[in-house]
């Protein structure tokens, strides 16, 4: 579950970074509003919205509070998204880590060494065995070709290359 903790830590770092960005940008917004309120005349839309009798300083405070409130809503929304998706991330990580279980010799019918995971592996078969899971027995020249030739393949599918003077599927006939 270390991978889950790592993901959670990374998400927490991202949220903290966003919070710092909100604070940094809040100061920039405050400065921009201060610059606006220092001008001789407010824009018509602002004057209409706050009324001509209102103090420009109260306008600045209201605007700053509005920006802070909107930014706080955005951060809360992001936090909720992180929390809501945390379980999905945890499940995805669990699925991935479940597929990383190492294979064993049992996966190779105890006839070889297994390399890889349960989902994706290769068997390095012991001498005398072959196949994806070492399920095939390699043919034996003495047994399968009567000691009169070289055996190629497995016991279920073999070919005998007979020595001079012998013929037949298993080198059983003398020429």
Is the same domain home to 119 and 166?
no
Give the structural domain span for 175: 139-175
Given 34, 68, 98, the domain boundary residue is 98
- How high is the pLDDT of residue 68? 84
Q: How far apart are alpha carbons 8 and 99 in whole angstroms?
A: 21
Is the same domain home to 40 and 122?
no
Is the same domain home to 43 and 80?
yes
- How high is the pLDDT of residue 132? 95
Is the same domain home to 119 and 155?
no
17-35 burial string, b = 16+ CB within 10 Å, else e?
eeeeebeeeeeebbeebee
Is the same domain home to 75 and 128?
no
Q: What residues in the chain have per-residue pLDDT under 50? A: 39-43, 45-50
Is the same domain home to 7 and 32?
yes
Q: Which two structure tokens, joined as six digits, stand for 99?
A: 């597929």
Is the same domain home to 48 and 116?
no
Is the same domain home to 26 and 63?
yes
* Domains held by the chain: number: 3
- How high is the pLDDT of residue 3? 59
Residue 64: closest CA among 33, 39, 23: 33
Is the same domain home to 49 and 73?
yes
């Amino acid at each position: 579950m270390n991978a889950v903790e790592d993901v959670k830590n990374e998400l927490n770092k991202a949220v903290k970074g966003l919070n710092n960005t909100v604070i940094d940008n809040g100061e920039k917004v405050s400065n921009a509003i201060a610059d606006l309120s220092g001008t001789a005349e407010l824009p018509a839309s602002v004057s209409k919205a706050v009324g001509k009798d209102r103090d420009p300083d109260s306008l600045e405070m209201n605007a700053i509070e509005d920006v802070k409130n909107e930014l706080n809503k955005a951060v809360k929304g992001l936090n909720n998204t992180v929390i809501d998706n945390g379980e999905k991330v945890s499940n995805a990580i669990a699925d991935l880590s479940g597929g990383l279980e190492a294979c064993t010799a049992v996966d190779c019918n105890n006839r070889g060494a297994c390399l890889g995971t349960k989902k994706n592996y290769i068997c390095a078969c012991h001498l005398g065995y072959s196949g994806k899971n070492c399920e095939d027995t390699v043919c034996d020249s003495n047994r399968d070709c009567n000691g009169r030739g070289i055996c190629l393949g497995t016991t279920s599918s073999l070919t005998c290359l007979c020595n001079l003077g012998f013929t037949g599927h298993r080198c059983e006939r003398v020429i």
